Amino acid sequence: MVNPQVVRWLWAAEAAVIRYGHVTEAQVLAQIAQESGGDPTATSAAGAQGLMQIMPATGRGLGLEDPFDPLQNVMAGVHYMAQAMEQFGTWQLALAAYNAGPGAVEIAGNQVPDIAQTRSYVSDIEAMLPDYSGYIRDASPLPTLREGGVGDSVRLLQRMLGMVVQDQDGIYGPQTLGAVLSAKHESGLPVNGVVADGLWSYLLWKGVRP
């Protein structure tokens, strides 16, 4: 079953996948569902924080400044998963590394460690994947980050992010279009697409450079 508190972060998952690759949006949403249930303020007893439950030390290594900022947190989590995918080659092993640490996967001979909590973590996320894949498939007529969008979709994204946009700013928020396109280019992302300019005006507004 799809958790509506999770799918509201599809735009962040899509942005992170565009940036780092290796995983799909549905895989990211399933992992968010397991980690935090879509609560960006979640903190575990062990101290893991945010949507993807990133430990403070891990976050520092990934350049995560605000673990409770949904976009920063998902960017960092997907960055970690991309690194794990490069190291271990499969999504399942990357999940195991995310949960138990890369060292545990290496000790297990590059297999999912025989740790009950880790095996349950991987299998639970795998079990949720079809639901989130189906949600994204069925939602495909909606504007997506890759497809870009007209002014209305950009304004919707800005409202969702709580941006205060004055009429004179047009659809691009508090930054000019030129600054948005420049930041996108510097970050190595496509200049077009991404409900695009609404997301990037948010990044500039927050001072975030993924």
N-to-C CA span, the chain: 31
To the query of whether residue 126 is one of the catalytic residues in this protein, the response is no
Element at 33 (helix H, strand E):
helix 25-35
Catalytic residue chosen out of the listed positions 14, 25, 35, 86? 35
CA distance 97 to 128: 19
Alpha carbon distance 199, 90 (integer Å): 30
Q: Rounded to an integer, what distance in angstroms lies between the CA atom of residue 54 and that of residue 158?
A: 26
Please give the Cα distance from 210 to 75 (Å, whole number). 7
Cα 109 from Cα 43, distance rounded (Å): 31
* CA angle, 9 then 12 then 16, to 5°: 140
- Neighbouring CB atoms inside 10 A of 103's CB total 10
Give the active site residues: 35
